Structure 1
Amino acid sequence: MNWAVYEALLTGVNKYSTAFGRLWLSLVFIFRILVYLLTVGRVWGDEQRDFDCDTHQPGCTNVCYDHYFPVSHARLWALQLILVTCPSLLVVMHVAYREDRERKRREKLGENCSQLYLDTGKKRGGLWWTYLLSLIIKASIDSVFLYIFHRLYENYVLPRLVKCNITPCPNVVHCYISKPTEKNLLSIFMLSTTALCILLNIVEVIYLVGKKCTKHVATPRVKEVGVRSIETTSGSEASSFLRSGRTVFNGTNCKPPVIKITASVEDETETLAYP
């Protein structure tokens, strides 16, 4: 498995993440992926070979091992790390889609054409929802894997000795798990970092939603203040603005419709001319 590919792809996510998102990404790479690569292979590499049972009955050891280790910790963690990092790629893909739209627009209408997005990496509109969705998916994936570990391995702890009486074992057989203390310590570490990542995702969701709500609450107040300032403008100032012939336009198009505001000086009556 080439983790360098995922690292190269996810490094670009830092540009579009909040401080909580950058902290989450650092936690995933340093305390989860790096620890997984350096330790899990050594600790779990001999789990089946060193699973000893006090019997020589053919097939008994394999059946007991499959019963107590239905899925390997190492393979579950590898699958979890792949799935939990994939939602971050949604943000990169969405930004790439925005940049591609801008490029096609410039090719069609010219380099001096107005932009569709002031900043393609700004979390506004659809990109904000994509980023929020990626956080929810990441937290959900980690939560599901925590539940799977709990169901497969009760209390997330591996015992030193297990008793097995499954066919073809002739009677109750004692089996011994290799390096149970080391495996338990590593399991607790990996599960703790998973829980911390879930907490960071939840905090970031609350931060984004709270910031969005605060912005929507503040926007009507700003508009109200602007309207009041216009209403308090004196008549001579308003007439001066009208006589200046200023242009109001929508900058989303290269050739926007123009509304030109003029004033008739002869009869002192103001008129609007629409080209």
Structure 2
Amino acid sequence: MDWKTFQALLSGVNKYSTAFGRIWLSVVFVFRVMVYVVAAERVWGDEQKDFDCNTKQPGCANVCYDHYFPISHIRLWALQLIFITCPSFMVVMHVAYRDDRERRYKAKHGENATKLYNNTGKKHGGLWWTYLISLFVKTGIEAAFLYILHRVYNSFYLPRVVKCEVVPCPNVVDCYVGHPTEKKVFTYFMVGASALCIVLNICEIIYLISKRIVRITNKFKRRNRDRAVHHDNYTDDPFNNCNMPMTRLEIIDKKDRPPSFKTASKSPHRVSTLRLEKKIRASAPNLSTAS
């Protein structure tokens, strides 16, 4: 398998991923693909030759190996790596579809026409759903392969000696697994890396959903605020302008306008003058009779 081509295909996914997605991609390449290519593939190698049984009965070693190792670890991990990275291509294909649609729209309406998408790689609308579905699919595939490995190899345990009594073996035969400790270490390491990828996928799902909820909540609050401001500025009765706010020019004009008779009679200077007249008449009552 050409892993360089595989890495080149997935490099485009990194541009459209979140921070959790970039960490997931780094874990896949560094802790899984690199370990698989550099070390794990060599450890297993031709594992059937290292599977020795204490009998020379023809076909017994082959049947016992197939009974205890129906699926090779190394081939199962190769399938797992291929399957978990395939959903990421859904995002790349969706972005490519958006780019092609934008190109055809510009070719039809000219270069100065308004864009269909401000950013074709931004996770809004259908691309957000595609990205979220790809995360769910990747998480399901990881969990499915871990379950298969758990069921086939008895909780990821790799014994040193297995006892086989499958036909054509003449009796109970002891068979010895080659490099059992080394294979066990790599098995636990790959299982741990797979579990870490599942955690990163779940964190990214929670991050995307919470960010979408916050965006919808802010949009709803902004819409209610705009409605409240619109309701305060305009009344339902077009002939009742009492609640209309005054402009700056109207306030200045009102200040420069001379007071009317009603406002003058209600002014504090008028009230003080009336009180002074009452005091004068009370102190000199003969003035009113004399006049």
Shorter-chain TM-score category? 0.7 to 0.9
- 1:137 aligns to what? 137
Q: How far apart in 2 are the matches of 1:39 and 1:202?
A: 29
Q: Return the structure number with greater strand share.
A: 1
Q: How far apart in 2 are the matches of 1:22 and 1:38?
A: 22
Number of residues paired by the alignment? 237
1:31 partner SS: helix
- 2:191 aligns to what? 191
- 1:215 aligns to what? 215
1:155 partner SS: coil
5+ residue gaps, structure 1: 238-275
Give 1:236 shift.
7.2
Q: How does 1:118-197 map to 2 (within 5 A)?
A: 118-197=118-197
- 1:25 aligns to what? 25
Name the amino acid aligned to 2:195.
A
Tell which deviates more after alignment, 131-140 or 217-226: 217-226
Question: What are the superposed Cα offsets for residues 90-121 of structure 1, whole Å, 9 maximum, x if unpaired?
Answer: 10100000000000000011000101111101
Q: How does 1:52-71 map to 2 (within 5 A)?
A: 52-71=52-71
Q: How far apart in 2 are the matches of 1:211 and 1:66?
A: 49
Q: How far apart in 2 are the matches of 1:119 and 1:18?
A: 15
Q: How does 1:65-80 map to 2 (within 5 A)?
A: 65-80=65-80
Question: What are the superposed Cα offsets for residues 202-238 of structure 1, whole Å, 9 maximum, x if unpaired?
Answer: 111011111111221221111111223334445677x
Is 1:200 the counterpart of 2:200? The answer is yes
Q: With structure 1 as the length reference, what TM-score do the two structures score? A: 0.84
Give 1:155 shift.
1.3
Q: How far apart in 2 are the matches of 1:4 and 1:104?
A: 33
Q: How far apart in 1 are the matches of 2:128 and 2:232?
A: 37
Q: How far apart in 2 are the matches of 1:106 and 1:46?
A: 57
Tell which deviates more after alignment, 223-232 or 41-50: 223-232
Q: How far apart in 2 are the matches of 1:6 and 1:120?
A: 24
Tell which deviates more after alignment, 82-91 or 39-48: 39-48
- 1:248 aligns to what? none
Name the amino acid aligned to 1:111.
E
Q: How far apart in 2 are the matches of 1:70 and 1:49?
A: 15
Q: How far apart in 2 are the matches of 1:13 and 1:168?
A: 51
- 1:46 aligns to what? 46
Q: How far apart in 2 are the matches of 1:236 and 1:133?
A: 55
Q: How far apart in 2 are the matches of 1:209 and 1:228?
A: 29
Q: With structure 2 as the length reference, what TM-score do the two structures score? A: 0.79
Question: What are the superposed Cα offsets for residues 143-184 of structure 1, whole Å, 9 maximum, x if unpaired?
Answer: 000000011100101100000011100000000000000000
Name the amino acid aligned to 1:131.
Y
Q: How does 1:188-267 map to 2 (within 5 A)?
A: 188-233=188-233
- 1:86 aligns to what? 86
Larger radius of gyration: 2
Identity %: 58
Is 1:96 the counterpart of 2:96? The answer is yes
CA RMSD of aligned residues (A): 1.2
5+ residue gaps, structure 2: 234-243, 248-291
Name the amino acid aligned to 1:96.
A
Name the amino acid aligned to 2:40.
V
Question: What are the superposed Cα offsets for residues 58-115 of structure 1, whole Å, 9 maximum, x if unpaired?
Answer: 0000000000110100100000000000101110100000000000000011000101
